[in-house]
Structure 1
Amino acid sequence: PMKALAYDQLKEFKSLEKGTGIAFSPAVYDGDTPKSKRRGIRNKSRVILTNPHALHLYLSWHKLWQRFFSNLKFVVIDEAHWYRGIFGSNVAYLLRRLQRILDYYQNPEPQFILASATMADPVEHAQKLTGREFSLVARDGSAKGKKTYFFWDTTKNLDKSQHLQTAELFAACVENNLQTLCFTVSRKMSELTARWAQEKVKDVASYRAGYLAEERRELEEKFKKGEIRGLSSTNALELGINIGGLDAVVIGGYPGTVSSFHQQAGRAGRTGQESLVVQVLYENPLDSYMLTNPNYLFQEPTEQAVISLDNEHFLKSHLLCAAEELPLTAADSRWFGPRCSAIAEELRKEKKLVLKKKASKTKQAKETIYIKEYHCVDKGACFQVGLSSFERER
């Protein structure tokens, strides 16, 4: 779901390619991919890593992807729990649009593989997200070392702000030779936390969305190599790069869900070494509850990843995108449900779709059959629909 994760996985695939001697030309294809390399990736790569926002745009140009889509055997969705709420509901329709295009290229049955470490209802969620049936593989084979959890009450020291206390705890971990990742509540706080920590220790930097791709890659490499000992970040790295030597995580403020807490805490100790998690709790009701009831985080199951396929706004937006990709017909209820034709007709009345009749003859039929097709009026529907927003973007 995030660029950092894609580039981290790319290195693993390249190592696998080199080790096995099997050429499959793995590549990342997203907004950071140079235009000069895109055609070569589409025409040669057998493994492509991307994110939903990029895929959402590329489906309109599916003819450029005919080779890849015609031969696609596996669709792997990592960090599947991330696809929930508005974003997850939009991605569910996006995946149906993808399957519709694969079917158009006579490739209707690729295997979907979903992965997640923190999900209460994995099979149900996977089925809603993709519309496919799933089997659960639940054995955990990851390395596990002793993990110590420390809860810090910022209200005990009113002389320093809660964010400054977070920065000082972050600096203390780095000062004690612990490679540390500090999660902050905002981009601005990520920058400030790094700046405050730099007053006490060296080799500390900030990582957040908004940096140039080259800057992000450079920070990731330096952190993985240990050249940077501390990194403050928004939740951009909650799902991100795999730093095997990460010793400690400082979480500035309760992240809002049990799932996010365990995702962030799980960044440390991934190679089996002992690790430390410092949960810094701020002055608000939810953080106060976690301070007095820390067992809640370890006894309660992770939250269900809720998505909605009943929201007409989502369906309308994605039918508009789908109509630009391929004309809509009554047969598309297979992908978008029984309301597909009715909502397509609504979009026609709104003058966003236009109805055309296509003549068709079958071997069995002696006379011509006319199929209703809905075509998109304006080009670029995908640019008007944001995956993380409720309404269509203007």
Structure 2
Amino acid sequence: MHRAEPTPADHPLLDVLTAHGARADRLTHVRTLPARTGEHSDWPAWADPGLVAGYRALGVERPWRHQVEAADALHQDRHVALATSTGSGKSLGFWLPALTAVRAGRDLPASDAGRIETVGRRSTVLYLSPTKALAADQHGALTRLLDAAGARDVRAATCDGDTPAEERRWIVEHADVVLTNPDFLHFALLPAHRRWGRLLRGLRHVVVDEGHAYRGVFGAHVSLVLRRLARLVEHHGGRPPTIVVASATSADPAASAARLIGVPVDRVTAVTRDSSPSGRRTVALWQPPEIASAGLERSGAGDVDPAADPWALPDPLDPTAHEADQVLTVRGAADHPRRSATAEVADLLADLAAHGARTLAFTRSRRGAESVAQQTRDHLRPVDPALVGRIAAYRGGYLPEERRELEQALRTGELLGLATTNALELGVDISGLDAVLVAGWPGTRMSLWQQAGRAGRAGADGLVAFVAREDPLDTYLVTHPEAVFDAPLEATVFDPANPYVLAPQLCAAAQEVALRGEDLDRFGDRGQVREVLDVLVARGLLRRRPSGWYWTHAQPAASMADLRGSGGQPVRVVEATTGRLLGTVDAGSADGQVHDGAVYVHQGVTFVVDRLDLADHVALVVRRDVDHATWSREVMEIALAEAGDPAHPAPEGSPPARGREWGPVTWGLGPVEVTSQVVSFQRRRVPDMQVLDTEPLELPERTLGTTAVWWSVPDHVLRAAGVDADAAPGALHAAEHAAIGILPLLATCDRWDLGGVSTDLHPDTGEATVFVYDAYPGGAGFAERGYEQGERWLRAVRDAVAACPCPDGCPACVQSPKCGNDNSPLDKAGAVRVLDAVLSHAPVGT
């Protein structure tokens, strides 16, 4: 522990968190980040005077220096990577040059607007955000600016899958600024590019907001969608648009932006020095206490964790998140279990709300958000019933109008506390918050600082508390604060050359306009692109003609690509008796979340799934008060995918497996086939988590072709390490869990982006083997990062497991929140011996 006692210099709300010292032992570290003064610049001479007047009317007398640097580069047609902190005003940096360009054509006579020779003279702007919520928020801010500027000649509108057809027609014909998301661009705008010719012909600026969200498979898809967009702009006679990627501060933002938009890095101007003012921010690392008895929380009435999901599923509203079906380990499996992060955060949120502090509590799951909100209301009810209605949950799956109402209530102060998933991590403009609570590591340092940036915006002081889950990574971080505060930010990892991504994107491009030889360089390495095209031709998806490659099928090619890796069309959750749509669940998690008999919670109201219809993508639920929650169980197997193997074929175009030897230990990296199936679920009584019954399920198998890293250990190495045949399964299983928990330190992912399998004898390797794979079709680069840094990775795993004080293994070291085998068998000591044996063969200097 680095410091448990607050000092006078700490934020006054820290005293509320520690309950005036009664909870001070839960603090493992407190660091105060100093305030930063702002640095202004003058308005650029080229800026439209009306827009400048509008900004001044809204209170922006002079812009910050980084805003002008970004705006100047965009005005000069330079691509820009704008990477500054949350609340630093990035939007002015791109709207000022973009809207100035639009208004430069405002003097076109109305009588000329439809003439062919004048079409395309007026510049247009396309704004892309990863969520509909952020696009709607930006549209509101943009409307306020245009109204203040009196710029009634600029027509801006949001357009997405929810936009009515009549409104969409108006946007096609008249809008100068279109705010949308990559999904609409991919599925609707680009395939119908002939209708959108006016917008494309005049497209001068493209804004890609929250660029750090475009990672993994989603980032690879968006990268190729942007290349398709640029190709169609040129096809319609426009010049290549200038693109700004606005992002949270990250490692090498210029390189990430260049890879995203498909240009050399020297064509991107990086603006990374934040010149906006920032208040002092106090950041506390917090570890919940050990609890006295298995299955029960002990701090007083209401402190149990009913139906909580303390180890979390990411929110599908976040484009980077992918849920995984889980089995929750019954508390008490460890000798010294700790209180769950969700229960702890509910206490802290209640105390802050009672103190009048406006607070966001970030959780790692939909169920976690609902649980924190409900527990907080329960805590506040006997204290001040008026506060109960000022606490709510916010998550993906809510209907758009519900989310807008919650956002507005938080802005106005009507809500004091909002328990949210990472859906509110992105740039929806919510300022004036006093505190942020983070229940569990959000996956990356970038995400942590994005969430933390919600506290103390607009120059005010803020308080942030990161509350650890019982997870090896969380435990490591709260006891090693240098890994939170002093380590460099992560790189944004995505691979546009991934054949699972490239193949459907090439098909979509060919349907839009036949692919020519000169187009291939646009989509990556010419040789790789040509190889994928040859495969597509061989499979009959494209036809090769002397003039190029053509799509000749009736169905839309865009439907082949699942941008977010969600597994298909979302499942609608519908109340059976009324037909009311409650929300949606992404396809990939539907089997585990809304199977027959599952308990579904919506703003504290419980429903039970009567029937899941996968064919119609609907789960019918009935309102019912129950005393239990449900957890699903899945089984899984993995096979190496090799060319020429009809049983487990490697994905078309996937790279061949590669490996290396550490003496007798073999490392491998390559394509695998993972088969999983949800086979049953448990009902567990709340709050004591007693298992009531287990019920089988009949759901289809799901197969994932992806990339894995693995290491295989011969039997004689295990025996020499003191791991006999009986101990090997538990030792390997424990090492696998810990390896998954630690890999996010080295790759831009969290454990929910990964999967793993271990066995004491794998049929494809012939030896004891531990696999860790990317939970995305084709892979996303995370397993490859583990392969490249194998020695560093395994040494961190070994140290984390060995340092955990538990005697036999716990959720803080080797237990996993999503283990399909109920975390059995596990052998913590055996895992350390196996890891020591493997590391003893690591080459010197690795």
Match of 2:542 in 1: 353
Match of 1:148 in 2: 282
Q: Does 1:16 align with 2:195?
A: no
Larger Rg: 2
Q: Does 1:193 align with 2:327?
A: no
Select 1:67's aligned residue among 198, 202, 205.
198
Shifted more, 147-156 versus 71-80: the winner is: 147-156
Cα separation, 2, equivalents of 1:52 and 1:372: 27
CA contact (8 A) 1:184 1:190 kept: yes
Cα separation, 2, equivalents of 1:179 and 1:124: 37
CA contact (8 A) 1:127 1:134 kept: yes
Select 1:3's aligned residue among 120, 123, 132.
132
Shifted more, 340-349 versus 215-224: the winner is: 340-349
Match of 2:78 in 1: none
Q: CA 1:269–1:289 in 2, change beyond 3 Å: closer, same or farther?
A: same
Cα separation, 1, equivalents of 2:165 and 2:424: 26
Cα separation, 2, equivalents of 1:187 and 1:384: 28
Cα separation, 1, equivalents of 2:234 and 2:355: 56
Q: Does 1:31 align with 2:31?
A: no
Match of 1:361 in 2: none
Q: Does 1:54 align with 2:230?
A: no
Q: Which runs of 4+ in 1 moved over 6 A?
A: none
SS of residue matched to 2:192: helix
SS of residue matched to 2:268: coil
Cα separation, 2, equivalents of 1:349 and 1:308: 24
CA contact (8 A) 1:207 1:219 kept: yes
Cα separation, 1, equivalents of 2:531 and 2:467: 51
Match of 1:235 in 2: 422
Select 1:120's aligned residue among 248, 251, 256.
251
Residue 88 of structure 1 and its aligned partner are, at CA, apart by 0.8
SS of residue matched to 1:305: coil
Q: Does 1:44 align with 2:223?
A: no
Q: Does 1:372 align with 2:502?
A: no
One-letter identity of the residue aligned with 1:187: R
SS of residue matched to 1:196: helix
Per-residue displacement from partner, 1:323-371 (whole Å, max 9, x unpaired)? 11111221211311303333223212101112345xxxxxxxxxxxxx2
Match of 2:469 in 1: 282
Cα separation, 2, equivalents of 1:391 and 1:261: 27
SS of residue matched to 1:352: coil
SS of residue matched to 2:243: strand
Q: Does 1:102 align with 2:233?
A: yes
CA contact (8 A) 1:353 1:375 kept: yes
Residue 242 of structure 1 and its aligned partner are, at CA, apart by 1.4
RMSD: 1.6
Residue 84 of structure 1 and its aligned partner are, at CA, apart by 1.3
CA contact (8 A) 1:332 1:340 kept: no
Shifted more, 159-168 versus 219-228: the winner is: 159-168
Match of 1:168 in 2: 347
SS of residue matched to 1:142: coil
Cα separation, 2, equivalents of 1:50 and 1:349: 36
Per-residue displacement from partner, 1:230-256 (whole Å, max 9, x unpaired)? 111110010042112111111011112
Q: CA 1:78–1:10 in 2, change beyond 3 Å: closer, same or farther?
A: same
Cα separation, 1, equivalents of 2:532 and 2:191: 20
CA contact (8 A) 2:501 2:561 kept: no
Cα separation, 1, equivalents of 2:272 and 2:288: 38
One-letter identity of the residue aligned with 1:188: R
Match of 2:767 in 1: none
SS of residue matched to 1:60: coil
Residue 157 of structure 1 and its aligned partner are, at CA, apart by 4.2
SS of residue matched to 1:136: strand
SS of residue matched to 1:328: coil
Match of 1:178 in 2: 357
One-letter identity of the residue aligned with 1:122: P
One-letter identity of the residue aligned with 1:7: A
CA contact (8 A) 2:206 2:244 kept: yes
Match of 2:6 in 1: none
Residue 118 of structure 1 and its aligned partner are, at CA, apart by 2.0
Residue 382 of structure 1 and its aligned partner are, at CA, apart by 1.3
- 5+ unaligned residues in a row in structure 2: which ranges? 1-129, 298-338, 381-386, 566-775, 779-846
Residue 141 of structure 1 and its aligned partner are, at CA, apart by 2.8
Cα separation, 1, equivalents of 2:168 and 2:246: 27
CA contact (8 A) 1:354 1:377 kept: no
Q: Does 1:300 align with 2:479?
A: no
State the aligned residue count: 379
Residue 197 of structure 1 and its aligned partner are, at CA, apart by 0.7
Cα separation, 2, equivalents of 1:174 and 1:314: 46
One-letter identity of the residue aligned with 1:141: S
Match of 2:703 in 1: none
CA contact (8 A) 2:514 2:548 kept: no
Per-residue displacement from partner, 1:142-180 (whole Å, max 9, x unpaired)? 331111112221144455241211111111111111111
Q: CA 1:167–1:187 in 2, change beyond 3 Å: closer, same or farther?
A: same
Residue 60 of structure 1 and its aligned partner are, at CA, apart by 0.7
Match of 1:137 in 2: 271
Cα separation, 2, equivalents of 1:119 and 1:376: 42
CA contact (8 A) 2:210 2:427 kept: no
Per-residue displacement from partner, 1:210-249 (whole Å, max 9, x unpaired)? 1111111111111111111111111001004211211111
CA contact (8 A) 1:143 1:270 kept: no
SS of residue matched to 1:62: coil
One-letter identity of the residue aligned with 2:185: L
Cα separation, 1, equivalents of 2:172 and 2:412: 32
Cα separation, 1, equivalents of 2:203 and 2:420: 35
Cα separation, 2, equivalents of 1:152 and 1:84: 29
Percentage identity across paired residues of the two chains? 39
Cα separation, 1, equivalents of 2:166 and 2:367: 34
Cα separation, 1, equivalents of 2:362 and 2:556: 37
Cα separation, 2, equivalents of 1:291 and 1:355: 57
Residue 35 of structure 1 and its aligned partner are, at CA, apart by 2.4
Cα separation, 1, equivalents of 2:549 and 2:256: 32
Cα separation, 1, equivalents of 2:480 and 2:490: 17
CA contact (8 A) 1:356 1:375 kept: no
Q: CA 1:40–1:145 in 2, change beyond 3 Å: closer, same or farther?
A: same
Q: Between Structure 1 and Structure 2, which shows a larger proportion of strand residues?
A: 2
Select 1:325's aligned residue among 512, 519, 532.
512
Per-residue displacement from partner, 1:60-103 (whole Å, max 9, x unpaired)? 11112111111011001111111111111111111111111111
Per-residue displacement from partner, 1:362-393 (whole Å, max 9, x unpaired)? xxxxxxxxx2342242422212311122449x
One-letter identity of the residue aligned with 2:257: A
Cα separation, 2, equivalents of 1:193 and 1:123: 38
Q: How high is the TM-score relative to the length of structure 1?
A: 0.92
Cα separation, 2, equivalents of 1:391 and 1:36: 37
- 5+ unaligned residues in a row in structure 1: which ranges? 358-370
CA contact (8 A) 2:204 2:241 kept: yes
Q: CA 1:3–1:141 in 2, change beyond 3 Å: closer, same or farther?
A: farther
Shifted more, 31-40 versus 336-345: the winner is: 336-345
Per-residue displacement from partner, 1:18-44 (whole Å, max 9, x unpaired)? 111222122111122222311111221
Match of 2:773 in 1: none
SS of residue matched to 2:543: strand
Cα separation, 2, equivalents of 1:35 and 1:213: 18
Q: CA 1:3–1:214 in 2, change beyond 3 Å: closer, same or farther?
A: same
Q: Between Structure 1 and Structure 2, which shows a larger proportion of helix residues?
A: 1
Cα separation, 2, equivalents of 1:34 and 1:268: 36
Greater relative contact order (CA < 8 Å, ≥ 6 in sequence) = 1
CA contact (8 A) 1:259 1:302 kept: yes
